[in-house]
Amino acid sequence: MIERVVVAEPDETQHHWITTEVIDLYRVMKPTGIVHTMQLLYAANRCLMCRRSLVDIFVQENSLPDWMAEECLWDANLDTREAVRAYFAQRA
């Protein structure tokens, strides 16, 4: 259901609130199958805070997708860039 809303390309404010709710849901319940939804939200969301929060979850879970990690190296948020560099350094 959430994925349909994301794919339908709601406005930026809707993306922000949907992402916030999914992050909260993940932190409380860690439901099966939500990882793909979080990847879609990352790709669709321009909010630097939302994207950073999603990256933090993937880093904590040691499941940051390669495509996302590569993109994060060029992120507008310098903290996101540094978090991904640290993630790569840990894996080396």
For the chain, the structural domain boundaries read 2-91
Q: What pLDDT score does 13 carry?
A: 80
Q: What pLDDT score does 66 carry?
A: 93
Q: What pLDDT score does 14 carry?
A: 81
Q: What pLDDT score does 65 carry?
A: 94
Q: What pLDDT score does 1 carry?
A: 56
Please, what are the averages of pLDDT over each run of 10 residues along the chain (92 residues)? Answer: 63 83 92 88 90 95 93 95 94 82
Which runs of E-coded beta strand occur in the chain?
none
| Nearest CA among 19, 24, 27, 7 for reference residue 46 | 19
